Amino acid sequence: MTDTFGRGIRLHDLHDLPYLPTSVVGSYSVPEWLGRLKNDYYQNRLSWQHLSDICDVAIKAALKDQELAGIDVVSDGELRRDNDIDYLLARIPGVRVANSNKAYFYDYYDTSVAEPLPTADLVPLGLAEDFTFTRAHTSQPIKFSFTGPFSLSRRIRTEAYTDSGDLVKALATVLNAEARRLAAAGATLLQIDEPVLAGYPDDVEAAVEAINIVTEGVDVTWGLHVCYGNRHARPSWEGHYDFLFPAVLGANIDQLILEFARKGYGDLQLIKKYGWDRDVGLGVIDVKSDDIETAQLVATRIRRAIDVVDPARLIINPDCGLRHLSSNVARAKLRAMVEGAAAVRSEFPNTRPGPA
Amino acid sequence: MLVEVRPTSRLRGDKPLDIAASLEPVIRGVCDSTLDLSRLRVVCDWIQYRANFREVVEVRPVVAATTTAHGVAHAAVHGDQQVEIAVDLRRSSTVSLYEVMTVAIARHQNHADDDRLFIESWGAASRSRIWEFNRLYWKALDLWEAATGQMYESTLPGGASDARNPDAVSDLVREMFTWWDELEARNALPEELYVVELGVGNGSQAKAWLDAFIAVEAEQGRDYYRRLHYLMCDYSPHVLEMARSAVAAHAQHVSSLVLDATRPTTALAFLKYKVFLVYISNFYDNLPSDEVARIDGHIYVVETRAYLSAADAAGIAADHSVQVGALPMLIDKLIALGPALVAEAMPAHFADVNHAVDFWRRVWDATRLAERYAPLAGLDLYEIAPGVTGDLLRPHLESGGDIRMHVSNGALASFVDTLPLLHPYGMLVNHDLFVTDTTRYRNGFLGPGKYDGSVVNWINGSLLAHIGRRMGFDVAFEPFRHRAGTSIVTMTAQVRD
Q: What is the pLDDT of residues B245-286, one digit of tens each?
A: 999 999 999 999 999 989 999 999 999 999 999 999 889 999
Which B-chain residues 466-495 have CB contacts (< 8 A) with chain A? 469-473, 495
Instruction: Flag whether pLDDT at B184 surpasses 90.
Output: no
- Nearest-CA distance A184 → chain B (Å): 35
> What is the identity of the amino acid at B379?
L
> Is the Cβ pair A234, B188 closer than 8 Å?
no
Whether B183 and chain A come into contact, CB under 8 Å, resolves to no
The predicted structure's pLDDT at residue B112: 87
pTM for the predicted model, two decimal places: 0.88
Average pLDDT, integer, range A152-169? 95
User: Cis peptide leading into A246, omega within 30 of 0?
Assistant: yes
Q: What is the pLDDT of residues B202-215, one digit of tens each?
A: 898 899 999 999 99
* Residue bearing the bigger pLDDT, A73 or A6: A73
- Nearest-CA distance B472 → chain A (Å): 6
The predicted structure's pLDDT at residue A350: 60
CA–CA dist B391, B370 (Å, integer): 27
- Nearest-CA distance B131 → chain A (Å): 30
Q: What is the pLDDT of residues B14-55, one digit of tens each?
A: 889 999 999 999 999 999 999 999 999 999 999 999 999 999
**CA torsion angle B127 B130 B136 B138 (round to 10):** -100
Residues of B in contact with A203 (CB under 8 A): none
Whether A236 and chain B come into contact, CB under 8 Å, resolves to yes
Q: Is the ipTM of this complex over 0.85?
A: no
In a mutagenesis test of the B interface, which of A34, A231, A232 is the best target, namely the one with the most B β-carbons within 10 Å?
A: A232
Q: What is the pLDDT of residues A299-334, one digit of tens each?
A: 999 999 999 999 999 999 999 999 999 999 999 999
Total residues found in chain B within this entry: 497
Average pLDDT, integer, range A278-287? 97
Residues of B in contact with A103 (CB under 8 A): 395
Q: In terms of Cα–Cα distance, which of A48, A50, A177 is closest to A125?
A: A177
Instruction: Flag whether pLDDT at B486 surpasses 90.
Output: no
The predicted structure's pLDDT at residue A35: 95
The predicted structure's pLDDT at residue A237: 83
Average pLDDT, integer, range B308-314? 97
Whether A240 and chain B come into contact, CB under 8 Å, resolves to no
Q: How many CB atoms lie within 10 A of CB B338?
A: 18
Average pLDDT, integer, range B360-376? 97
Q: How many CB pairs under 8 A join A and B?
A: 33
> Is the Cβ pair B424, A235 closer than 8 Å?
yes
Q: What is the pLDDT of residues A18-31, one digit of tens each?
A: 899 999 999 999 99
Average pLDDT, integer, range A242-267? 96
Q: What is the pLDDT of residues B327-343, one digit of tens each?
A: 999 999 999 999 999 99
> Is the Cβ pair A232, B389 closer than 8 Å?
no
The predicted structure's pLDDT at residue B202: 83
The predicted structure's pLDDT at residue B75: 54
Q: Give the pLDDT band (50/70/90) at residue A236.
A: confident
Q: In terms of Cα–Cα distance, which of A268, A266, A298, A296 is closest to A280?
A: A268
**Torsional sign, CA A274, A275, A278, A279:** positive
Q: In terms of Cα–Cα distance, which of B175, B145, B208, B64 is closest to B429?
A: B175
Task: Work out the percent of chain A whose per-residue pLDDT is above 70.
Answer: 94
Instruction: Flag whether pLDDT at A135 surpasses 80.
Output: yes
Q: Which of A104, A234, A239 sits opposite B470 (nearest CB)?
A: A104
CA–CA dist A226, A235 (Å, integer): 12
Q: What is the pLDDT of residues B49-70, one digit of tens each?
A: 999 999 999 999 999 876 655 5
- Residues facing A96 on adjacent strands: A112
> Is the Cβ pair A104, B471 closer than 8 Å?
no
* Residue bearing the bigger pLDDT, B77 or A8: A8
The answer to whether A252 and A212 are in contact (CB under 8 A) is: yes
Q: Which helix (H) or strand (E) holds B195?
A: strand B193-198
- Nearest-CA distance A232 → chain B (Å): 5
Which residues have CB under 8 Å from B196's CB, separation 6+? B231, B233, B264, B268, B271, B275, B277, B278, B279, B418, B421
> Is the Cβ pair A32, B471 closer than 8 Å?
no
Q: Give the pLDDT band (50/70/90) at residue B156.
A: low
Whether A272 and chain B come into contact, CB under 8 Å, resolves to no
Instruction: Flag whether pLDDT at B193 surpasses 60.
Output: yes
Q: Give the pLDDT band (50/70/90) at residue B236.
A: confident
Whether B381 and chain A come into contact, CB under 8 Å, resolves to no
Whether A3 and chain B come into contact, CB under 8 Å, resolves to no
Q: Give the pLDDT band (50/70/90) at residue A351.
A: low
Q: Distance between the two ends of chain B, CA-based, in angstroms?
A: 49
Q: What is the pLDDT of residues B438-474, one digit of tens each?
A: 989 999 999 999 999 999 999 999 999 999 999 999 9
The predicted structure's pLDDT at residue B73: 56
The predicted structure's pLDDT at residue A354: 58
Whether B114 and chain A come into contact, CB under 8 Å, resolves to no
User: Cis peptide leading into B448, omega within 30 of 0?
Assistant: yes
Q: What is the pLDDT of residues A208-222, one digit of tens each?
A: 999 999 999 999 999
Whether B174 and chain A come into contact, CB under 8 Å, resolves to no
Mean pLDDT of the residues in chain A: 94
> Is the Cβ pair B497, A32 closer than 8 Å?
no
The predicted structure's pLDDT at residue A355: 55
* Residue bearing the bigger pLDDT, B380 or A348: B380
Whether A98 and chain B come into contact, CB under 8 Å, resolves to no
B126: phi then psi, degrees, rounded to nearest 5 = -70, -15
Instruction: Flag whether pLDDT at B143 surpasses 80.
Output: yes
